[in-house]
Amino acid sequence: MLTENIRIALRGLSANKLRAALTMLGILIGVAAVITLLSIGDGVTRFVADQFSGLGTNLIFIIPDQETPGPPGSDPLSESSLTLRDAELLSDVGLVPGAAAVAPVMFRSIDLQYGGNLHNVLARASTPGYTAINSLEMARGRDIDQADYDARSRVIVLGPDTVKALFPDDIDPLDQDVRVNGINFRVIGLLTSQGASGLGGSQDDIALIPLTTAQERLFNARSTRSGDFLADAILIQAADEEAIDGVIIDASTVLRQSHNIEFRDDDDFQILTQGDFIQAFGAVTGVLTLFLGAIASISLLVGGIGIMNIMLVSVTERTREIGLRKAVGARRRDILGQFLTEAVVLAVLGGLLGILIGVLGAMAVNLAVPELDTSVTFSSVALAVGFSVAVGLFFGIYPASRAAGLHPIEALRFE
């Protein structure tokens, strides 16, 4: 009976091709929208994970606790609870044996000028180990070394996007002088393109300067509490993945002792790993994906209403046919099954076409934004098809029940 019902449904749809096509259009658009938008949401999730993975391996981020107030009169947005002394303590192998490298860092917006070209960039001021910890590579020139750090040298390393914004194509940026907030700095190195966005902005629009130079020559970066030089964050690279938990425990102990935090008091810092960032952003992108899917599902709802409307019209048009079938022995469930099958076939055909359009839409997004891997997953296809079948069943029940409930004599008399 199922194959016969499908054959009858296909014959009925072929008799009204334009009407069937317009009815399927709502389901087609809904399924295509669900698949395309879910693929975009999944692509954003994977993109965020890749960006944090590209920052380096086995990284631990120590940042000030934003809820911890500074002393009276201090700027709550600039007064950090972390200092250069904290980084020196964390670098002690005896205190944190699992740490392979430690890099305090300051993030500050600076104005770069070369000739008549101006460019604003979020600079990273850190120690010579910053590039290695963050997997940054030199394309030309050299990195900031210990001599630059100790001498508070006015040297700078630039990313490829920063170079493009400042220098004409016919000028070699190496060994050129650029003005940083009005002070001359010598360009000593150029970074390779990372093609990613990490903490603090684009990894290609970047400027690196020695931390000591930034603290003493560019910014007033001393703590109003202790007078120590401040750091916006401290990056620690664990020796291996297994050492991460031990480094977190040891670093917390060192900082609590350094900041004179009592046993029952809360920390004035936060320790985060790459996994914590990925999990936090994953929760945000998960909600975004769910929201996009919910919006796309509205199209499926509209398509379902269209199916119900057309099926009610079909019941009215085929009233005499229903009466004739009942007169020759068709039972209520036979009529119910026939019209339910027709509604489901209508929805499934629209859903299959919607899958094709959705895959093409995801490919188009990937071509427009190559950084997003918008590959269509089996789960999104299964969800879209299952939803379209459910829509066909749900919105086909009422018309099918109305057809099955017709009295054969009244149906035969219907004009």
Report which residue type is found at 412. Answer: L
HSE (side-chain half, CA atoms, 13 Å) at 367: 6
3-state secondary structure of 177: strand
Neighbours of 244 (CB within 10 A): 20
Determine which helix (DSSP H) or strand (DSSP E) holds 17, and give its type and residue range. Answer: helix 17-53
Q: Any idea where the domains of the chain sit in the sequence? A: 2-51+279-413, 66-267
pLDDT of residue 142: 92
Mean pLDDT value across residues 319-337: 74
Q: Please choose, from the candidates 62, 40, 57, the residue with its C-alpha nearest in 3D space to the C-alpha of residue 271.
A: 62
Q: Which residues pair with 109 in a beta bridge?
A: 122
Separation CA 207–CA 124 (nearest Å): 6
pLDDT one-digit tens code per residue, 345-400: 888 888 888 889 988 988 888 888 877 778 887 877 887 778 778 877 787 787 77
3-state secondary structure of 105: strand
Give this prediction's pTM: 0.61
In 3-state terms the chain splits into helix, strand, coil percentages (rounded to 5) of 55, 20, 30
Model confidence at 68, pLDDT cuts 50, 70, 90, reads very low
3-state secondary structure of 122: strand
Q: What is the mean pLDDT of the chain?
A: 81
Copy the structure tokens of residue 394.
């749900």
pLDDT one-digit tens code per residue, 167-225: 998 899 999 999 999 899 999 999 998 765 444 456 788 999 999 999 888 887 777 66
| Phi-psi region at 88: left, alpha or beta (left = phi > 0; alpha = psi -120 to 50) | alpha
Separation CA 363–CA 222 (nearest Å): 52
Q: Which residues pair with 117 in a beta bridge?
A: 114
Mean pLDDT value across residues 28-56: 77
Separation CA 277–CA 61 (nearest Å): 10
